[in-house]
Copies of this chain bind each other. A is one copy, B any other.
């Protein structure tokens, strides 16, 4: 397996760092628009793991917006797999470049949605991933696999959905991804600051788009942003967090492979963050349409959302000043294998103190990066195989969850996931 990793931002950097402890691949090409960033990642691998491990890494400059350039870099390095670790606006170009190069493809976010032109808060328009699924037959005909949405959410959440359907439930009422955290970031003086732990560009995209819900008898439909607020009680000391509906890939993926009456995604944003997002929208600062603005070198055309992202601390850089844990999981309700009502929360917790000590990566970014590495390992030995455009729930969940949980000393990743039985309402 020869992997072209596109993007050495927070998640891409953590993918390389996690993979550095594994041996299932021959080469990882860490590529970025700014090759210096890719070099920093490989320098870390060399410093931490030595020259032998680092010899299986190299770097490249890449323009992720150009399919031809993606294909050229993939061909140049004989990539068998293209691992997309950049912002979702580049999904379509990397997806096309991988297919052109004859490589398999993985991503952690799917091609972007477009709201319904006349009724955006009730009906779907172009849905997340529609552009990719529309090309499924091309991938099948080429005998190539595009494994889409294999981060933590989507990703691990989808693996949990497959697991719940196969091993825990005879009938599922709701597959509800629920994400919450108790992370706090402080400045040098120790004062709490506003510093989102994940790409604000992506968070704005997710949270201001109309949230999508799936129901057995209605199919996919949308609501206004921040709908159906619900206090969800998270484990591991995080406690109750206010969650709202957010547009997310799980809702588009799970119903394609798993039977359920309802599929939702709710994000524990909290009041402050919801207010920030609403205010950005009120002012038009969420927009990706470039505006003409004065700059030191004359008028420049910049997208307000890019400026918002640039004004905030880089999520990859805040790890040292952050404390707390993040929890990603799937809340499942329905009828158990024994015919009785059942309610479980399947989850994985990432502790910033631990991810910083072990990987110098902050916990949200690290938790996202873990899952594609596990998936790549399962693909490398044929445990997982397939062609076409497939979500994580199209594969057997058990080998994934076993490899993830098994201690490192026994060849696994040593990452506990948990099943919490809850009392059905």
Partner-B contacts on A (CB < 8 A): 194, 275-276, 279-280, 282-285, 287, 290-297, 300-302, 304, 306-308, 310-312
Q: Is the CB of B296 within 8 A of A301?
A: yes
Total copies of the chain:
2
Q: Supply 16 A–B pairs (Cβ within 8 Å), ascending by A.
A: A275-B275, A275-B279, A276-B279, A276-B282, A279-B279, A283-B312, A290-B296, A291-B311, A293-B306, A293-B310, A294-B306, A295-B295, A296-B300, A300-B300, A302-B307, A304-B310
Among A284, A297, A302: residue with most chain B CB under 10 A: A302
Q: Which residues of B contact A311 (CB under 8 A)?
A: 283-285, 287, 291, 304
Give A349 Cβ to nearest chain B Cβ, in Å.
28
Q: Which residues of B contact A312 (CB under 8 A)?
A: 283-284
- Please pick, from B285, B290, B295, the residue contacting A308 in the complex, using a CB distance under 8 A: B285
Q: Complex Cα distance A285/B285, Å? A: 10
Known: A194-B283, A291-B307, A295-B301. 20 other contacts (CB 8 A): A194-B282, A275-B275, A275-B279, A276-B282, A276-B283, A279-B279, A279-B280, A280-B283, A283-B308, A283-B311, A284-B311, A285-B307, A285-B311, A290-B295, A292-B310, A293-B310, A294-B306, A295-B295, A296-B300, A302-B307
Q: Is the CB of A293 within 8 A of B302?
A: yes
Give A66 Cβ to nearest chain B Cβ, in Å.
15
Give A270 Cβ to nearest chain B Cβ, in Å.
13
Q: Complex Cα distance A14/B308, Å? A: 33
Give A233 Cβ to nearest chain B Cβ, in Å.
28
Among A292, A300, A301, A308: residue with most chain B CB under 10 A: A300
On whether A310 and B295 interact (CB within 8 A), knowing A302-B300, A302-B302, the answer reads no
Q: Which residues of B contact A295 (CB under 8 A)?
A: 290, 295, 300-302
Q: Which residues of B contact A283 (CB under 8 A)?
A: 194, 276, 280, 308, 311-312
Q: Is the CB of B293 within 8 A of A297?
A: no
Q: Which residues of B contact A291 (CB under 8 A)?
A: 307, 310-311
- Please pick, from B282, B293, B296, B297, the residue contacting A307 in the complex, using a CB distance under 8 A: B293
With both beta carbons as reference points, the residue of chain B lying nearest to A194 in the complex is identified as B282
Among A194, A276, A279, A306: residue with most chain B CB under 10 A: A279
Give A86 Cβ to nearest chain B Cβ, in Å.
13
Q: Is the CB of B296 within 8 A of A297?
A: no
In the A-B complex, the 7 residue pairs with the smallest Cβ-Cβ separation, listed nearest first, are A300-B300, A279-B279, A284-B311, A295-B300, A291-B310, A296-B301, A307-B307
